[in-house]
């Protein structure tokens, strides 16, 4: 009995220690406390490691984007293509509207709030060297190639093409899960150490707490509107839907994984729609693509970081382009801890002007709010399946009339 309890305690301890969020919090705490005692040469050493890992990530991203999108689209059966395409269009529109709402609310609130920009630094740190790996393809090229190959392989299946796609997909996943994700604290730590050592981080979190609270409040207010829409603005029905989905939401928050909450989400969707076939088709497909938590929180976080680093808020055209490619990149972010923000790095840099320090800061911030974002994603998908059922029913009736 004692050995069994000891084994369970050891497993729980290892689970906590190797949790990316726990490691990230430890790194942030250690850097914030010890940065004054770290020699400048060590700061440059850790910064060199961070920039090296960032270059590796940028090199691997085209393969990640291409293989994830191509594999996902190749798996769509011909007979279900119309349904899946309709669902994907609905998800894309939903994600885009979420980002526009986030951008409008964020710009309105942030422009009227004191966000305490980081002070200008008199000391700057640079890496010992930078490894410049070749950039195989841009984000746009990778996504277009993945979509083209995926659809062609769905309509004209080819065993050899499928094997190559799965081979690339599996090895990219191994790189991310076995190499990059375990080194995520080192990736963020070097950049954060630079920011602290240059005096740019002092007081930032404390001074901008109101912005972070507002950001999460906007998400849950937005989700409340989704819940009411799913319940046709019937309060009793809304309470019943939320009660059914609550176990999945809590699981997502505690595990930071939509996949871990999927069995509970499926059970809730079957009860809330009374249509097991629709629930089983929609919930797995929206798992990694329809992420309301991310599409509400990340744009506001990005604008907060821009202001903190003394950059202006993005122009409307740039923000729209950021939104479009942020959504497209989400097709490749599933299955990897903090995958959403990592695959968004090139988009943040190209359309919002992020540099290495800003990228490191938003990744660290995202790691902390990941439980909130993930639980928001799961809550929204539980409400979305009901709304999608209503929309599908309206279209069916119209088609029957004609």
Domain boundaries, the chain: 21-126+137-401
Q: How far is CA 184 from the centre of its chain?
A: 15
DSSP 8-state symbol, 120: P
Quick one: CATH architecture of 21-126+137-401? Orthogonal Bundle (1.10)
User: Residue 250 has which token pair?
Assistant: 């809590």
Lowest model confidence (mean pLDDT) among 12-16, 80-84, 87-91, 156-160: 12-16
The pLDDT confidence band at residue 174, using thresholds 50, 70 and 90, is confident
Sign of CA dihedral 293, 16, 267, 83: positive
144 or 43: which carries more pLDDT confidence? 43
CB atoms within 10 A of CB 182: 14
Question: How far apart (Å, rounded) are the C-alpha atoms in residues 18 and 16?
Answer: 6
SS3 (DSSP) at 291 = coil
The pLDDT confidence band at residue 337, using thresholds 50, 70 and 90, is low
Average pLDDT score over the chain:
80
List C-alpha distances in Å: 119 to 124, 198, 310, 316.
13, 9, 9, 27
Residue 191 has pLDDT above 70, yes or no: yes
> Please, are residues 284 and 334 in contact by the beta-carbon 8 Å criterion?
no
User: Residue 329 has which token pair?
Assistant: 């990149």
List C-alpha distances in Å: 359 to 96, 232, 261, 285.
22, 41, 29, 29
Indicate the length of the chain as a whole number: 402
> Please, are residues 367 and 185 in contact by the beta-carbon 8 Å criterion?
no
> Please, are residues 353 and 321 in contact by the beta-carbon 8 Å criterion?
no
Sequence-separated (6 or more) residues with CB below 8 Å from residue 129? 48
pLDDT in tens, 9-43: 676 666 667 666 677 778 878 887 888 888 888 98
SS3 (DSSP) at 270 = helix
pLDDT of residue 319: 93
Question: How far apart (Å, rounded) are the C-alpha atoms in residues 130 and 128?
Answer: 7
User: Residue 98 has which token pair?
Assistant: 């979420």
pTM of the model: 0.73
Sequence-separated (6 or more) residues with CB below 8 Å from residue 157? 74
Sequence-separated (6 or more) residues with CB below 8 Å from residue 89? none
pLDDT in tens, 277-330: 788 777 877 877 788 988 999 998 898 888 888 888 888 899 999 998 888 777
């Amino acid at each position: 009995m004692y050995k069994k309890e000891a084994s369970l305690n050891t497993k729980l301890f290892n689970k906590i220690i190797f949790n990316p969020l726990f490691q990230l919090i430890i790194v942030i705490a250690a850097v914030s406390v010890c940065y004054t005692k770290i020699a400048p040469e060590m700061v440059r050493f850790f910064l060199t490691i961070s920039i090296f890992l960032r270059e590796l990530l940028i090199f691997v991203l085209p393969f990640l984007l291409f293989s994830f999108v191509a594999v996902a689209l190749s798996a769509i059966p011909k007979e279900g293509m119309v349904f899946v395409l309709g669902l994907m269009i609905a998800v894309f529109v939903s994600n885009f509207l979420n980002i526009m709402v986030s951008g409008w609310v964020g710009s309105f609130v942030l422009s009227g709030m004191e966000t305490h920009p980081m002070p200008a630094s008199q000391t700057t740190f640079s890496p010992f060297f930078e490894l410049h790996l070749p950039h195989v393809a841009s984000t746009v090229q990778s996504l277009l190639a993945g979509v083209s190959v995926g659809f062609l392989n769905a309509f004209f299946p080819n065993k050899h093409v499928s094997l190559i796609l799965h081979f690339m997909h599996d090895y990219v996943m191994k790189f991310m899960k076995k190499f990059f994700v375990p080194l995520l604290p080192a990736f963020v730590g070097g950049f954060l150490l630079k920011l602290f050592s240059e005096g740019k981080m002092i007081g930032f979190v404390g001074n901008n707490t109101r912005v972070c609270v507002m950001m999460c409040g906007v998400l849950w207010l937005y989700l409340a509107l989704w819940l009411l829409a799913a319940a046709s603005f019937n309060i009793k029905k809304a309470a019943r839907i939320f009660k059914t989905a609550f176990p999945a939401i809590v699981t997502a928050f505690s595990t930071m994984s939509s996949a871990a909450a999927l069995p509970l989400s499926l059970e809730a969707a079957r009860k809330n729609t009374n249509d097991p076939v629709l629930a089983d088709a929609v919930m797995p497909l929206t798992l990694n693509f329809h992420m309301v938590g991310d599409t509400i929180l990340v744009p506001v976080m990005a604008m907060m970081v821009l202001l903190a680093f003394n950059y202006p808020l993005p122009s409307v055209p740039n923000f729209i382009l950021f939104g479009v490619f942020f959504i497209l990149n989400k097709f490749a972010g599933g299955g990897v801890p903090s995958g959403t923000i990592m695959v968004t790095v090139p988009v943040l840099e190209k359309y919002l002007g992020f540099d290495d320090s800003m990228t490191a800061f938003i990744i660290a911030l995202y790691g902390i709010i990941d439980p909130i974002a993930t639980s928001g994603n799961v809550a929204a998908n539980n409400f979305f399946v009901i709304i999608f059922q209503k929309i599908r029913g309206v279209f069916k009736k119209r088609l029957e009339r004609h």
